[in-house]
Every structure is written in structure tokens, then in C-alpha cells.
Amino acid sequence: MKIEAVWARSVRLSNTTLMTSYGSNAVERDHLFVAVATEDGTVGYGEGSPLPHFSGERAPEMQRVAAEVFAPALLGRDALDMEGAQQALRRALPHHGATKAALVSALFDLQGKRAGLPAHVLLGGAVATQVSVAGALGIEPIEVALQRVAELRAAGHRTVKMKVGADVDRDVRLVHAIREEHGFDVRIRADANGGYSVAQARRFAREVAEARLEYFEQPLAAHDIEGLVQLRASGLVPIAVDESLFSLQDAFDIARRGAADVFVIKLIKLGGLHVARKVVAIAEAAGIRCTAVSPYETALGVSANLHLVASSDVFAHDSELGVGVSSVAVPGVRELSFQGGRLVVPAAPGLGVEMPEGFFAPVAA
């Protein structure tokens, strides 16, 4: 079953994001969508919505890379040879994880359709039919954040991720304000996006210790693995890594050095589901828990993450998958089922999300 065609399209969609230690939020974002077709007419779809400040990719350039570099590397290949496809993408051009993630998702979608199986079965598991999702708070005034927590709880979310890293005093006050208003009925995780110094991170962890955070995500700069090791050894709070985890090799090194309790899994960092499942295997072996994060993607991108979560019980924390963080949709695409703080894992073959007819018609790779 040979790959006969690859299509790519960049689309700008309304999509409010969160204020973080990186800077201000945005009201529109560019998303990359791809389709991969085989000679028998089977078509798989994938999404790779980048975080430019995070990985350096932007969707318009991703569309060109997909068409001019990655499509030629895939055309004529066996669509069932996932490892071969991943290696072909690696040889064609390094990095570009979000673009690769979109194409790999499309291949899983295609394979699932051919086999009549949902993608999580191809990934090796079916341990969940629903996935609990967390809500999120940007860096905003405390009174605004508290109102947001109340809204998230009313929508069924039981975990709140708060962005920190710009002002330790404000961050500590907010943690205690949430605990005072909501008690321990809501789980709290804090994400500094590498915005703290070692001293600031230690202070924050120490001053919120009684609040029992679920975990403290990327407190230090991505390169400071030794700092993460020392902070984790303090025993003040579990440590999660995000910006420090961009590859299979990163995962191995972090696990070997004991730098994290939690891996934040983002397909756009790792190059897609195939490599992500290998990172999950390292986590399984090392006793590290995982959280799937894809906050600004449409139903297509979110579905890929749901299938990954359903493939392993190492995903012990609520995922961050669109709902409760942002809301973005492609007209004509059916939304995923969300109720009581949980998203339903699609049971249809492949990823379980179809794109509108003619969506890729203007652009062929």
C-alpha cells in the first residue's frame, strides 16, 4: 500500500491563548493540516498546530516544508511502515517536530482506517474510553484568576493549571487564594515555562508546600537539568519537564539523572505519535508519570493525543487538551464529545475525525 499523495494547508483560526512568562496572549493562530493518501484511495488526516515561541515553527512555513521536503520523502513508501516513514522524515530534515507530527498522525489515521481499528489500538492499548482534562489560568490578576477557577469547576474540571514565572509574590498568593476559596477539592499544578531562577523556584516551592501542588512544571530553563535534579531532590514538590523534553534522547537522559517525576508529552515537540509512544515506554520503565498537552489544537489534533493517552496507564494526570484552555474549531468538523470534565476517546477507525470535503483541494504537494 504505497503513499500516492500528500496535501498540506495552513489555516488561520480564532484562538485566544494564555498569558505566560513568555509574554502576551494571541487572538488568532495558524494551524497546519495535512492529508496522506494511498493508491487505493484511503486518506488519513493530521494536524500540527505549532507554538512558534516554543519550537520555532510557524504554520505557513510548515506548509512549504511539508510540500517541498517531507512529501517527496514519503511518496512511494509503504504507508504501513511507520518506523520507515519516521526515519525518512528524520533524514529529510532535522527538527520541525510539529510538521512531522501532523504527517505521522495522518499515517496513523490512514492505517487505522485500513485496518478498521481506532489509532489507540495501533499504539498498543485501550486502557481508557474517556480522558479527564484540566483547565488553565494565564498570568492575570488574582481576582480574575479566581473567577476563572470557579468557571472551570462549574464546567466539570477538577484540575487547574496556573501559569507562573513572572512574579513569585503574586504566584504564591494565587496558590493560597485558590486553596482558601476551593480547598483541596481542586488539584493545582503550576507551570513557570522556565521563567524562574533556581532561587526563585526554591522559594516558590517552599512557600506553597502546604498547598500540595500536583506538580511544578518546568520551573527552570530547559538546559538546567542539574538544577531540576537538585530541586526535585529537595522533596518540596514533584517536578514536571516540558521545554527540557524534545526528543527520545532527552527522555532517556532526564530519566537516567532523576530530574523529573512527570513527562509533559507534546506531539509537536517529539515529531508525532510514533516517537511519543517510545518516550512513554521510557516513562513506564522509569516509573515516571505522563501528562498529554495539546492546548491550542482543533478536534483533529486533540484526537491524536486522546488515542495516545488511551494506549497507556502511565498518563496518571488530567490532560490539557483544548477544552478548559482554549476553544478552536474548523468549520464543518464535528467537535469531540465533552461531558463532566472528560473527553471521549474516538472509537471510529483511525483518529476518528474527518475533514470537510474539498478542504485540501487548492493545495497539493
CB under 8 Å to 90, separation ≥6 — which residues? 271
> At which residue does the C-alpha cell 474517556 appear?
130
End-to-end CA distance of the chain: 19
3-state secondary structure 40-54: CCCEEEEEECCCHHH
Within a domain: 350 = no
- Confidence band for 24, pLDDT divided at 50, 70 and 90: low
Residues designated as active site: 163, 266
Say which CATH number the domain at 100 has: 3.30.390.10
Question: Is residue 35 situated within a structural domain?
Answer: yes
Stretch 147-159: mean pLDDT: 95
Same domain, 133 and 112: no
- Nearest of 74, 62, 130 to residue 102 by alpha carbon: 62
Q: Are residues 55 and 201 in the same domain?
A: no
Same domain, 102 and 82: yes
Q: How confident is the model at residue 28 (pLDDT cuts 50, 70, 90)?
A: confident
Confidence of residue 362 (pLDDT cuts 50, 70, 90): low
Are 80 and 133 part of one and the same domain?
no
Cell of 310: 488511551
Closest to 95 in 3D by CA, of 47, 46, 62: 62
- Whether residue 174 sits in one domain with residue 321: yes
349 belongs to a structural domain: no
CA distance 30 to 110: 24
Residue type present at position 298: T
| HEC string for 173-241 | HHHHHHHHHHHHHCEEEEECCCCCCHHHHHHHHHHCHHHCCCEEECCCCCCCHHHHHHHHHCCCCCEEE
Residue 174: give the domain boundaries. Answer: 122-344
**CA–CA separation, 207 and 211 (whole Å):** 9
Specify the higher pLDDT residue, 82 or 325: 82
Instruction: Output the average pLDDT for the chain.
Output: 94
For 2, the 3-state DSSP assignment is strand
Q: Quote the pTM value.
A: 0.94
Contact 353, 346 (CB under 8 A): yes
Q: Can you say how many angstroms the Cα of residue 179 is from the centroid of all Cα atoms in its chain? A: 27
- Are 236 and 321 members of one domain? yes
At 125, the pLDDT band (50, 70, 90 cuts) reads: confident
